[in-house]
Amino acid sequence: MDYLTYELRGEIALVGLNRPEKRNAISDAFIEELAVVIRRAEAEAKAAVIFGHGPHFCAGLDLAEHVKKTPFEGVHGSRRWHEVFGWIQKGKLPWFGALHGAVVGGGLELASSLHVRVADSTAFFALPEGQRGIFVGGGASVRSARLMGLARMTDMMLTGRSVDVDTAERWNLVQYVVGEGEALQTAIALAEKAASNAEISNYAIINALPRIQDMASDDGLFVESFIASFTATSPEAEERLQAFLQKKAGKVARPGEAG
């Protein structure tokens, strides 16, 4: 692989963005390689972690390639980003992000397609497309805006504002903030927890929750009841529920305490 690294560590697929000389900028070839890796991870792993090699997670679109495209080629490329990132967001696996350095433009769009984001203290976030004379094209108007809210995204695009990791956490762009160099280790630990869940539960969480958010309240509650009933009758759910009832499984504990 030219732009990504792939390692299977137990049940966890580790996917590394590997264009450090370009700040891991995303090109068309990069996207096609990512498409292959996503399918490989789904076949081999129960959860996945994506991270960046070098000093940055991803600084966004490869502009040198983009300026050479016709408008139609640009639309086609944008739709391909939507498709491939959608395989992450609504696929088979829980995806965790280990973010550091620049999480900018297309890098933020990729991060927004993940299910859980861990950022270290070096991470910063921006959507500079407005200053480049273009518009977001990798899904930010839907995924990133739903994470942080319309007003904040509008501000970032109009002003070119860059926000630090603490602001990103307050804005819900990331769920965990850790010390410098600790994001990957933390993301792997979280992925291992998710990998230990029932696969049907993970699939329902990944695929049902975002769809329910798009529904009217009554429709969402109706769908929830069916999903809850379906997952509860699976053989794995029965086994896990019996283990809990027989006190063979730990109870939920306070943060920092053992279950």
Q: What is the mean pLDDT of residues 235-258?
A: 68
Q: What is the mean pLDDT of residues 17-25?
A: 96
Residue 257 in this model has a pLDDT that exceeds 80? no
**Which domains are seen in the chain, by residue range?**
4-195 (3.90.226.10), 199-245 (1.10.12.10)
Strand 47-52 and strand 124-126: the pairing is: unpaired
Alpha-carbon span 253 to 246, nearest angstrom: 18
**What percentage of the chain reaches a pLDDT higher than 90?**
76
Which of the following is catalytic: 42, 129, 192, 239?
Answer: 129
Which of the following is catalytic: 11, 44, 65, 109?
Answer: 109
CB 97 within 8 A of CB 114: yes
Q: What is the mean pLDDT of residues 163-178?
A: 98
Residue 152 in this model has a pLDDT that exceeds 60? yes
Residue 44 known to be catalytic: no
Residue 213 banded pLDDT, cuts 50, 70, 90: very high
**What percentage of the chain reaches a pLDDT higher than 70?**
92
Q: What is the mean pLDDT of residues 203-209?
A: 95
Q: Which of 178, 211, 188 is nearest to 96 (CA)?
A: 188
Residue 168 in this model has a pLDDT that exceeds 70? yes
What does the pLDDT read at residue 134?
Answer: 82
Residue 27 banded pLDDT, cuts 50, 70, 90: very high
pTM above 0.85, yes or no: yes
Tell me which amino acid residue 78 is: S
Alpha-carbon span 6 to 114, nearest angstrom: 17
- Mean pLDDT, rounded, of the chain: 91
CB 125 within 8 A of CB 173: yes
Alpha-carbon span 208 to 213, nearest angstrom: 9
Written as six digits, the tokens of 31 are 């996207």
φ, ψ of residue 9 in degrees (nearest 5)? -115, 95
Q: Which of 114, 85, 89 is nearest to 207 (CA)?
A: 89
Residue 4 banded pLDDT, cuts 50, 70, 90: very high
Residue 239 in this model has a pLDDT that exceeds 60? yes
Residue 250 in this model has a pLDDT that exceeds 80? no
Give the residue carrying structure tokens 């007003």.
151
pLDDT tens-digit map of 55-81: 999 999 877 676 677 888 888 889 999
Helix (H) or strand (E) holding 170: helix 165-170
What does the pLDDT read at residue 6?
Answer: 98
Q: Which of 107, 110, 99, 93 is nearest to 47 (CA)?
A: 93
CB 44 within 8 A of CB 90: no
Give the residue carrying structure tokens 């992450």.
88
- DSSP codes of every residue in 94-144: -EEEEE-SEEETHHHHHHHTSSEEEEETT-EEE-GGGGGT----SSTTTHH
